Structure 1
Amino acid sequence: MMPLMLGVMLTTSTMPQVGQVAPNLHAMSTSDKVITLSELKGSWVVLYFYPKAFTPGCTKEACSLRDGYFGIQKLGAVILGVSFDKIATLKKFKAEYHLPFELLSDSDKRIAKAYDVVGLLGLYAKRKTFIIDPDGKIAFVFDSVDSAHHNAEVTEKLKALVAAWQ
């Protein structure tokens, strides 16, 4: 009985909720620039966390977002991908799959902790996507992601959010 109670106590979520200010981030990008969320205020941001570059699901998700990039960009959004991978690995991943958006290295897990997406044993980030509005608030959270069709999910939700925003 005691382990069950401890398990319940340990799963309390601190994930930012819709309507809350998104935690700022400060990370090195694949363009060798430090990116902060506060710099992007005034734009929609699609912030997606993924476990590991070059793995099948993560590659499908990145390529899906690549394929929908221009439609998402037309809606006024910036896409940022975040994983625990080193920047050198992310640069190779971006180049190999021709990703037009920035990937951020969160090797110290500060961003993942702020968004409560640290996975099992702290080895990888959970697959989650946050849409952040131009005021810097969480507008939507994808708790479950269809890696192969994520661009369609994001585009559909972003269209609705942008229309409601105007």
Structure 2
Amino acid sequence: MKILAVSLALLAVVVLWMRFAYAGELPQVGQPAPLFSLPDQNGKVHTLDDYKGRWLVLYFYPKDDTPGCTQEACEFRDDLHKLTALGAQVIGVSVDDSASHAEFARKYHLPFPLLADKDGRVANSYGALWNLGLIKFARRYTFLIDTQGRVARSYLKVDTSRHSGEIVDDLTRLKGN
């Protein structure tokens, strides 16, 4: 009987955790990308409309200056010339604040905007928010947005060591280059 009670309590905890960890729905390929308006590491506000006519690599990441997030950001930095040549802009988004982003960008010489989604609203609109009640993180998701503002590709399982190269390859195919 004790084992059953413990099992039921554990199940209840898992169900509650899953409820709190829920994020919004993922935007589907071909649909308009959810709108955003967020400040970057320098306080400049960026919106989705700012990037109409260009490809946008919008990547969500959990936390500034952590091993996986640093590797991913540095890979984007190192491949930025290839992405720019393909007509793409890179933007990172996490729930960290602008000051944290500024230090992260300065430390690793990141030449692209890092947007501060402090309340997690934008991450949630992309299905990328991991909400554990008092603690929120952005999931490591990336969305390739086309020149018309539609989701062209989504990446929900990211290998930080090769993700940037994967996007370069996919963007090359999508553009027919």
Q: TM-score, normalised by structure 1?
A: 0.90
2:94 corresponds in structure 1 to 83
Match among 101, 114, 121 for residue 110 of structure 1: 121
The one-letter code matched in structure 1 to 2:124 is K
- Aligned in 2, Cα 1:86/1:129: closer, same or farther, shift over 3 Å? same
Kindly provide the CA deviation profile for residues 119-158 of structure 1, in whole angstroms up to 9, marking residues without a partner as x: 1515200000000000000000011111112211110111
Separation in 1, partners of 2:64, 2:161: 15
Report the Cα offset of residue 40 of structure 1.
0.9
- Letter in structure 2 aligned against 1:135: Q
Of 47, 55, 60 in structure 2, the residue corresponding to residue 44 of structure 1 is 55
Distance in structure 2 (CA, Å) of the matches to 1:163 and 1:35? 29
Rounded to whole Å, the distance in 2 between the matches of 1:53 and 1:130 is 19
- Please report how far the alpha carbon of residue 14 of structure 1 lies from its aligned counterpart in structure 2 after TM superposition: 1.1
Amino acid at match of 2:108: Y
Q: Distance in 1 between matches of 2:174 and 2:112?
A: 21
Gaps of 5+ in 2: 1-7
Aligned: 1:145 with 2:155: no
Cα distance in structure 2, aligned partners of 1:50 and 1:13: 16
State the Cα distance separating 1:12 from its structure 2 match: 8.7
Q: Does 1:92 align with 2:86?
A: no
SS at match of 1:140: strand
Counting only pairs closer than 5 Å after superposition, residues 2-81 of structure 1 correspond to structure 2 as 14-81=25-92
Equivalent residue, structure 1, for 2:3: none
Aligned residues: percent identity? 42
User: Does structure 1 conserve the Cα–Cα contact (< 8 Å) formed by 2:57 and 2:90?
Assistant: yes
* In structure 2, C-alpha distance between the alignment counterparts of 1:128 and 1:28, rounded to whole Å: 19
* CA–CA distance in structure 1, aligned partners of residues 81 and 99 of structure 2: 26
Displacement of 1:31 in angstroms is 3.1
- SS across alignment from 1:91: helix
- For residues 82-141 of structure 1, the C-alpha deviation after alignment (integer angstroms, 9 at most, x for no partner) is 001010010000010001111000001111111011115152000000000000000000
Give aligned pairs, total.
Answer: 161
Q: CA RMSD in A?
A: 2.1
Give the distance between the partners of 1:75 and 1:15, measured in 2 at CA: 25
